[in-house]
Structure 1
């Protein structure tokens, strides 16, 4: 797998290896089903750019980024609705397999829940090509080449979903092969 400049430091700190696309059965560092629990902690606090520090914005949504087409994105805009953060890499076959279901969920729950892709582990050109080839341009996809958002959510491998409830609390982190089960999880969050 292609390692990027930030990856060695991230992996050394986490003492994990990238396995999301490499494991035969789709298991992640925790397990294939992920963590689905009301006791799961929110994303860890990290320094932010200051633009998302308004009162009422959960810590998990205090991040900024740039979309793959160069537009500024503020995580605070996601506040008040359940949110799916999909961490993917352009060269990952499991990520490509998740694309259709993720796009379907984004369309089905538009206005009720947010879906945001967070691309990493490659260059912006490859990220743009992935979005075009997998038809996942119907929702924002962020170019997180330096890995800042990945680090905030402690993501150490691609093909991971993080689901946040309307209050910004993490309720699921894990791999959903081909996105199966994502719609059910989001449906429960929108009530």
Structure 2
């Protein structure tokens, strides 16, 4: 069964024109740990040696362009991604009605707890209302880490995510090192362990 597309048809069509690929990419390649070509050179994801956006994160780390954005959490609090700078970061893109996302929830929460202080885990919820997002977090017991309410799809577009249940993993410099599904969250802990030493 194909996952629902993340963005409205017109925005999705524009993204397809820009990236040359769509949601029909091979999950098998993504799940094997390959970095998809569209994210490796994404304008939102500058190469590791490119200059940061200026400014520093919470630990005094230079903020890479990939983390130079703000959002609002599902709880209505302001969120500044600059606070993630200097540590590996897992961005988990999910939708409240998605069974694959629900299956990833327990492992994602486990990884967030195991690597607290060493790596960041942030949920990026979309494709539904904020009320439905709150229900999902409550039902899946994933309230131990922040979740962004991305109803307009701004963060999804920034990372060129075109379908839910995807992970985007950044190293401590903000470079995308993985983008894919990871069914049930299997393999997420190993990927984060490889970045935290």
**CA deviations over 1:65-114 (Å, ceiling 9, x no partner):** 00000000001000000000000000000000000000000000000000
1:31 corresponds in structure 2 to 27
Among 107, 115, 140, the alignment partner of 2:113 is 107
Q: What runs of 5+ residues in structure 1 fail to find an aligned partner?
A: 19-27, 47-51
User: Which 4+ stretches in 1 moved above 2 angstroms?
Assistant: 1-4, 14-18, 28-33, 35-46
Q: What runs of 5+ residues in structure 2 fail to find an aligned partner?
A: 46-52, 57-61
Contact 1:102-1:179 at 8 Å conserved across structures: yes
1:76 and 1:42 map into 2 onto residues whose CA distance is 21
1:128 and 1:76 map into 2 onto residues whose CA distance is 24
The size of the alignment, in residue pairs, is 176
Alpha-carbon offset, residue 178 of structure 1: 0.2
Alpha-carbon offset, residue 37 of structure 1: 4.6
1:140 and 1:108 map into 2 onto residues whose CA distance is 15
- Is it true that 1:165 corresponds to 2:171 in the alignment? yes
Cα pair distance change 1:2/1:124, threshold 3 Å: farther
Contact 1:7-1:121 at 8 Å conserved across structures: no
TM-score (norm 2): 0.81
2:188 and 2:4 map into 1 onto residues whose CA distance is 27
Contact 1:42-1:60 at 8 Å conserved across structures: no
TM-score (norm 1): 0.84
